Structure 1
Amino acid sequence: MLVQSCFLHYAGEDLAVKFETEEHWKKAFGPVFIYLNSNSAAKTNPSVLWKDAKQRMEKEAASWPYSFPLSEDFVKSNQRGTVSGQLLIRDWFVSEKAVPRESAYVGLAAPGEAGSW
């Protein structure tokens, strides 16, 4: 059995991840946080809810990574490393210079043999 997952790529051919029979792979999602807020003042000023939700989001973001998940697939904060730097994108259709990007996701994996990610 061959499992295939396709990912669209910014430019060029689609990237496809292929797994052979008996090849171990899994992806852990979460934890997921859902915040339901309410405020009677929102009847006349709905932005009260938005401001409250934004403050809560900032609080949760500052708490990351969470320490409460018990799954062995969720790496605890004391087992994580740190990476810092700047992601620059060179897209000739947007700018002739490399442009810094925000809110991008970069996948990292533990060191290992090539292709072991």
Structure 2
Amino acid sequence: MYSSDDGELDAAFLALADPVRRRIIARLSRGPATVNELAEPFGITKQAVSKHIQVLEKAQLVTRTRDAQRRPVHLNPARLEALTAWIDQYRLIREGQYRSLDAVLETRAAQGGTQAKDAS
């Protein structure tokens, strides 16, 4: 997970806070793309898209490779999996708390039904 530095976690969530960068990540989930391809659906310049990609690269959410004249951008699934694992640890804790609460409520409901029968 992110035991080495909270800065990595902060950078990743900061990068994902922007809707354009989230859409870039969504597009890259379907496969690599060039800056030109990534810029197509946005009403912003290619330079602006390049800056968004730089933020995603700094957060290690994407990588770039060189393919002749092309420099495709690739999603880094390992980084997304690490973010998911970090979120899941807290989700699992919360789910355990809800299961415990459900058990208490079921016990109380069963005891309340028994007490009502005893009273009649």
Q: Which has the higher helix share?
A: 2
- TM-score of the two chains, using structure 1 as the length reference: 0.23
Bigger proportion of residues as strand = 1
Question: Please, what TM-score do these two structures have when normalized by structure 2?
Answer: 0.23
- Larger RCO: Structure 1 or Structure 2 (Cα < 8 Å, ≥ 6 residues apart)? 2
